[in-house]
Amino acid sequence: MKRPQLTLPAPVLPERYRAVLADREPLACLAKAPKRVKKLVKGASKKKLQRAPAADQWSAQAVVAHLCDAEVMFGARLRFIIAMDRPAIIGWDENAFAAKLPHAGTAVEELLAAWKSLRALHVALLEALPQEAWSRVGLHTERGEESLSTLVHLAAAHDMVHEAQIERCLTKAKPAKAKTKAVKQVRQAK
User: Are 110 and 41 in contact, with CB atoms under 8 Å apart?
Assistant: no
For residue 81, CA distances in Å to 61, 125, 137, 176 come to: 30, 13, 6, 38
pLDDT for 175 beyond 50: no
In the three-class reduction of DSSP (H, G, I as helix; E, B as strand; rest coil), residue 146 is classed as: strand
pLDDT for 131 beyond 60: yes
In the chain, domain spans? 15-189
Considering only 133-137, 166-170, 178-182, which range has the smallest mean pLDDT?
178-182
10-62 residue pLDDT tens: 446 778 888 888 889 999 999 999 999 999 999 999 999 999 998 899 999 99
Mean pLDDT of the chain: 87
**To the nearest 5 percent, what fractions of the chain are helix, strand and coil?**
65, 5, 30
Per DSSP, the chain holds a count of helices (H) and strands (E) of 8, 3
Most confident of 18-22, 93-97, 172-176: 93-97
Choices 3.40.1350.10, 1.10.10.10, 2.70.160.11, 1.20.120.450: CATH for 15-189: 1.20.120.450
CA angle at 68 for the pair 77 and 107, rounded to the nearest 5°: 165
pLDDT for 84 beyond 90: yes
